[in-house]
Chain A
Amino acid sequence: MTEPIIQVENLCYRYATRNHFSVNDVSLSIQPGEFVAIIGQNGSGKTTLVKHFNGLLKPTSGRVVVNGHVTTEKSTSLLAKFVGYVFQNPDHQIFAETVRDEIAFGPKNLGFSEEKIKEVSMKVMNEMGLTGMEEDMPFQLSRGQRQRLAVASVLAMEPSILIIDEPTTGQDWKESMALMELVRELNENGHTCIVTTHNMNLVSLFARRVIVMRQAKISLDGPTQDIFRYGNELKEAWIKPPDIYALAQSILPGVKLDKPIVPEDLAAMLVEKLNGRS
């Protein structure tokens, strides 16, 4: 087994304003190239957990090792070289006067050459559907466009680990899909991708591993198609699996899924059962 790219050991974190732990004794490891979804109720600790992966938060106790670096020993700016973090609310991230400057800011800080900055800027703007908006003021863009700008400016740093905190906010299904397709492409090129989201349909389509947070702890961790079979446990974490998993379980009890499914897969399984019987 290769060295994990993220290793979390007995992590506890308490915000100064709270009297309970927001992450409570969490341990996990993520291998390079994984595509992981972290799901759970609002306030279950998802965002707090992932903010440890780039050193935005430092453990109250326990240890987080990213790419061989113990996060308490390194600055967030050093970690930013290989961990990209896209915030839930793009307005918490965007600050520049133009789209161009917003995207160039990260690569500039990382010391990319002018040439390289131009190249990556054009590439990510194209990928995020922002071409032609170089001179626009970020705050005049729509919420969906601002979200894509936030992603573009993180992608421009070409991080080996990409964390996206709720990619669907302010996006419609098509835009969320486009964003996730892009994340998948990065994942196929070797980037480790970690997504927190409430959209279980997206989780089912993209993530190969699901980690369920419940009351500051991990309650389930496994392959996507397996996790969605734990209807009762998920309910306790305020999660509802996509309808097709619950349907498959009720109508085709004992069926084994070796990968996440889409409606067409369930249709084929149901039709096969019907035909097999007649």
Chain B
Amino acid sequence: MTAPFLKEQSMEFGWTPEQEALRAQVRAVIARELPPDWDAISRHGPGSRQQTQFSLDFCPKLAAEGLLVPHWPREWGGRSAPPWEHFILGEELWAAGEPRGPQYMNVNFIGSTLMKFGTPAQQDRFLPEMAAGKAIWCQGFSEPSAGSDLAALRTRADKRGDQYVINGSKVWTSYAGLAQHCFLLARTGDGKSNIAIFLVDMKTPGITVRPIPSLIGVGDIHEVFFDDVVVPEAMRLGAEGQAWPIIGYALSQERVGIARYAFSRGVLDRMVRLLQQRGQFDDAIVQSRAGQALAACESARLLVYRVIDQRARGLPPNAESNLARVAVIAADHAVADFGLAFLPDTFSGAVFPLHLSHHERAIAAGIASGAAEIQLNLVAFDHLQLPREARA
């Protein structure tokens, strides 16, 4: 990916020597720290008990190498590394099946959101733990009546003195089973403007977590019930009614935060290697379909890089991140479909555990963290400037 004939600063798509060195360092850490049975550990996805527990061992080692929060400022344990470095890190770790487990959320958006909107006390309470690789968070957003239409959420936070009492329920909550903290959205009054964010200790009395058996990994999604859960006012993030701009900021960090195409590309490489070992890759039809899936991955990669490039320039987030999400979802499905077409036997038994994990991630890709259709809406409105349809 180097273009030696182009001078620096012109449009080019290569990596600097520093970026190449960082990538090599991350790969070396992955090679050294992932155990021989890593594929089996990561089989059930980042939210599984095995992978979450592994992350509590792995992330401190990353932190010791300066590779957990390099993009954070020095005062919080980072070195203000440019966005590209954080992204290269994410690419390599996702390509390996995400050994950070649920902690990828901390470094992608929860930490930076706390830095921007949190009180000094909140920052002191939560950021050192994240930077040490010891924090597991879940995200209390979706509810039975509020999925894509997040503003329809009903969970209530009633102010009583210097506390809030929270009642309601969340659903499809990833990582809730093992999380220490919840980044919770709750309503302080009627309407979109009366929503606030709370940083809730998951051990607080009144919280009940039930795993939901699902197609996408053991321990991944949950129902979370809040019955008279008391949260100190000091654990409200931002002001009452400020939730929407904070969520907008968090999602702008999150939208292309997960280098899913890198995971898809890594799994595609391994699928092809297996087909080659079996002598099944000499078929032009198989090769063509592999090339098609590869093109989908690389198209998604470049659209994501475009967004990171804008972030690195300090430009405000825009709908190109939604455009990139659309392409990332397509890439996940292209690779998953390739596996179904040419390696059907690996969906039974434990022939190729990472392949199963990828399949389960892929089928959720267009649903989790903003459905594909919501991304298309945002592309239509904000990128193509099409008129908004009158809502029912």
- Is B a genuine binding partner of A? no
A-side interface residues toward B, CB under 8 Å?
A: none
Residues on B lying within 8 angstroms of A by beta carbon are: none
